[in-house]
Structure 1
Amino acid sequence: MIFYSIVTGLTAFLFFATGTFVFSQNTKSYLYRRCFIFSSTVSLWAVGYFLTLIGKFSFPIMLMCSRLSHAFGALIPIAYLHFVWALLKKKEGKNLFTSGYLFSFLMFGLCLTPLIVKTLLPKMGIPYYPEWGILYPVYAGMFLVFPGYAQFELAKAIRRSVGTEKTRLLYFFVALGLAFGGGISLFLLIFNIPFPPYFSVLIILYPPMMAYTILVHKFMDIEVIIRRTAVFAGLFAFVYGLFTVVTMIGQEFFKNSLGWNQWVAMIPTVVIITFTLRPLENFLTNITERFLFQKKYDYRELLRVFTNEILTYLDIRRLTEETVTGLMNITKLESAAVMLHDKDQKLYKVVASQNVREKDLILKEEDVLIRYLKVSHNPIQKDKAADKMNHDGDLMQAFKKLNARLCLPVVSHDLLVGLIFLGMKKSGEDYTAEELDILMTLARTEAIAISNAQLFDELSKTQAEAAQREKMAVIGTLAAGMAHEIKNPLAAIRTFTEYLPTKYNDPEFREKFCRIVSQEVNRIHDIVTNLLLFSKPADPKRRVCSLNDPLRDVLDLLSNEFLKANIRVTADFQEHHVLADPGQLKQAFLNVILNAIDAMKPSGGSLSVQTRVAADGVEVRVGDTGHGIATENIPRLFDPFYTDKEDGTGLGLAITHSLIEKNGGKICVESKVGQGTEFVMKFKD
């Protein structure tokens, strides 16, 4: 009986504490009011049960307590459904709740009569336990219908949700499922099913699970900063309360099973509590420090890590947004903003912010705040600079519009390049001198990061202009090369068309005309096709593959060419994997090997093809024993339309270079005149 009394007492206290805490966060919130009403109905139900189970009053009073407990319990199912409805922000259901509340209040009145609780009887060691009346099945059915529907809607919402929201709803779903499961287990003994209500202890799991979800996952958008002592005391009381329940059950066991008297049976309980008190205290200290709070030195460490991270950003927008987000998360702020100097307009503008009142705030260079920070390079706290606030309306308005309590100057080479505004800490505490030192260090690091990002932006613009000039030069080269390459076949076609009227009846001329014009048209077609492939190659369809496969395909494809040109081929492949487009690499390898074949004509030679796994990736080496390439010509080798062949277009190696780079590789050439050439292509594994 003591066990059940403690469980119902803890249930009453914990549910009321949880509901009151949530409601205190925002008394105007519809969701928080629903949570408070639900928690209060459970607490009032548990109070009635507690007063009945302790058995310290006259029978009529205990019977009335039991009936009042059931009366408040009749409001729990509809209150829970309404709470879930508010949590999921569902708009429909007005008729449902009107009917539900009318039915619940009807059951509230009936619970005060013998129709629900007929009387109290001793059951399974509990002196006073409810005996069910004729309408009790209807009462019990409410705890299946309304909560069951609520859990069904929660399950659907969990299925649709992702990330943190999914985790929050899942915790809530499990907590309420356990609580209602524990509560429903009480009905079994009421209907005289001989099953002791041990599972009622599950009810008290709901408040700590809710507290954990709020503290860690910010459930219902509640973010809490609580002092370590308060959390430790609450957690210690809860865990030690559960521990005491277990030891008291043990006391009952020694008393009833072994026949010990009450005082002797208490000895093992006292011994257990004495030897476990200190280990339990140490355990809870470690848990609260590790999972709910950070030590003081952790604050410095987190800011150190944060400053190292922001130095890696070279995009101004990304840099400032990450600064605001990092400060909000690390120092637990209500708001934060970063303003940067616009040199052209001579203004300071908000470029990144969270939870500020006016994101379009502008400060001029002649404003008091800017002039003060330019000279002092010191931070300004709103409350610590009350005299300045009172004497300068613009200064006070700037802090008000950005919801700020602290302003940090961002100074680079004695120039005020920006400002960081920080709002109130959610704990309500002031910024300490140590925190100001750390934050000023961060502001100096921010200044370096901003300067780097601005320099990178200027360099990018310069490089873009240079790239545009280079692009125009390439276009000029392409145009000139294309004009030169197409001019020759066009000249041949033009010559034949000029003679066509006079020699049309000459069969030999017509046969020669058809053959040569067809060849020259095909040549023009090949030039245009290769030019298009070079200027706008298709995006690679990269996948994990081996470079050995396209190399083998190319060697098989050119086997007849090797025989015709009297070329001996040696291949040595090592197993590896790269991320690339095998089709595009096959085209690239084909161009390189065809180039090697041409270099060894007409006398023949040796061709070696190798793949090697190196420390920095995979290498493909294609070497020949041809005539070689002059050193001064190697830099031009991959230029479009550069060729030393009579019938070459000069686009093959240019296309190869483009395809290799598209697939994340690099290509280079090693050659000696009279000895041969080796192409080396490197890819990341």
Structure 2
Amino acid sequence: MVAQLVLLVFSFAALLLLGAFVSIHAFGRAATKAFLFVCFSTSAWVLCNILVYALQRPVLIEWTGRFAFAVGSWPFAFVLFFFLSFPSRHPVLARNWVCLAIFLPAGILSLLALTDLIQESVGFSASGVPHPVYGPLHKLYAGVLSAYALASLSVPVLTLKKVTDPLQKAQLRLLLAGVGTAGAGVALLQLFFPAVTGTRQLPGVAPALATIFVGFAAYAIVKYRFLDIVVVIRRVIIAGCTFCGISLFLYFSVTAILKLSGTLSPSDVIGWSVTAAIAGAFLLPILNRLVQRALDRAIFLGYYTYHRELNSFARRISTIYDLGVLEKALSTDLKRIMGTISCRLFILAGKRHLESLPAEKKTAVEFFASQAARDPEVVISYEVKAKLGPRLYEPWLRYFELLEATIVVPLNDKGGLVGLLALGEKHNKEPFSVQEVDFLSVLAPQLAVVIRNSLLYHELAAMNNYMETMLEQMTCGVLTVDPGLKLVTINHAARRLLNTPPNNSSHDLGAMSPEIGKILQAALESREPVHGVEVTVDNREGAVFTVSVSATPLTGPDGDLVGVLAVLTDLTQIKQLEAEVRRVERLATVGTLAAGVAHEIKNPLVSLKTFAQLLPQKYDDPEFRTSFSQIASAEIERINSLVEQLLRFARPPKPIAVPIDVHEPLEGTLSLLATEFTKKNIFV
């Protein structure tokens, strides 16, 4: 009787706590009021049974028992009303007579229970435990309660066939599991055995079983994400098998110790007992893992395979660095594993991904992104509907439909929101379990890191491609070498100058071009830049280039020398242009010189021509002939002197300084120009 009394007290406290818990966490919902009536009526039923065991006077026990029967009819009525109100209000409740039909039989039974028609009196067993003596209408009482139980079971069963909302399906299944468990116990202990045997088996235990249903109902009201029933069954079986295994181990250990106790001292018995207990403690986790592994492969193979595929998928995506591959893995593998209709990834870190979406879908993504900024938790459509109600849920429904999603997972990392993962409803229309939502919550930051790394990888690849394109299109040769003068990178212009094949990873620059190798080696040794050193490079195909080499040592983050960057500027064309300029300048100089020589030669020839023209007229003039002879000789000498000067210019001799009479060149010049002066009436 003590065990029964403890169980009833525990059930009474649990019912009150469950009622308070639901009132706090689900305040304002229509189903909460119906649930509270279930809790309070059941707790009153349990309290009456507690008083039956606690009281001593037979009269008080008899009337308390009658009150227990009177109160006991109301939980059944309130359970039926609760099923019509949860998870959604049944349209039949809009009719007033339905509520009357639900509660009137319970009220009549309560009045009858206060007479001796249902409980005639109270009897006591040999051990002093009270039990009721049933009256003539007890079978009617049992029949009405059975009708209540049958109606309570039929309502969720019929509703389950019609409902399409995944959350409501899960809630109805939980309620059926709870009412089935509690109803089976109540039917056996409170109805079946009394009706068949005329006695009450395990009195007082039946009301306590109602706590099981109340617990299931509270879980269904407050929670929106439920444990997979397979997970619950699996955990119970694993725990039971582990408990049985450890119990057998301890049993055989104790049996062996007891058999040997006759040959062992008391201290040895205690020592072996402690050893067996310690061994059992160490074996407990090992046995638990072995049982779990065996059951997963033998009984729960589907569950085991499902979660193994999820874990394998999570490990595999961590190695992906391409967004296209990641999107394909999500839209095919994750969609297949979780059994959803669709799976889409929306990336927010890169604007170009968001800009490529249609306007309406972009609006939906931005809406969920704003929600994720306020609350980074997973958003599930039927949870939002249950929390907000149908009217406030309408805008959300539109955005869920635009993304073809039932569940939207924000992908956050330290840098903020990276993207959204949108999964459609399951093919079997089932809700997402707690384990699946937890998996997606754990997967979300991993996906965010993968997306961020992929974007960074693409940025680096684009930058690297840009740098390679820029280097390849540069007219200057650019190359880098390691400290051993092995080529690391080289562009097209440098390959042309050095005649290097495309595969340059094993080439030694010092062997290919010793001149350039010496310059780079000097930069390595001095750790100082080298600028504009001109060298001649033979590319081993007969082409010779004049190259200006600039080298800069390269150091790593820790200051160690990692190589040299060299810039090779091809000066060959510049040198050719410079030579051409010098040739043109020489030709221009020769032209200027020729013009000056022609002018200098022309002047004496003009004088000779003038005297030659006057010679026929003044041949008989001795003075003229003398002057002609002197001037002609002087002009011819002048021409000869000019030619000798040209020869000296071509092969300049050492200069010899001699004194001269300045009058001689002046008089000679006047003599040459005398005829011209005469024609122009110039007198000197």
TM-score by length of 2: 0.38
Where relative contact order (Cα < 8 A, 6+ residues apart) is larger, the structure is: 2
Larger helix share, 1 or 2: 2
Which structure would you say has the larger Rg? Answer: 2
TM-score by length of 1: 0.38
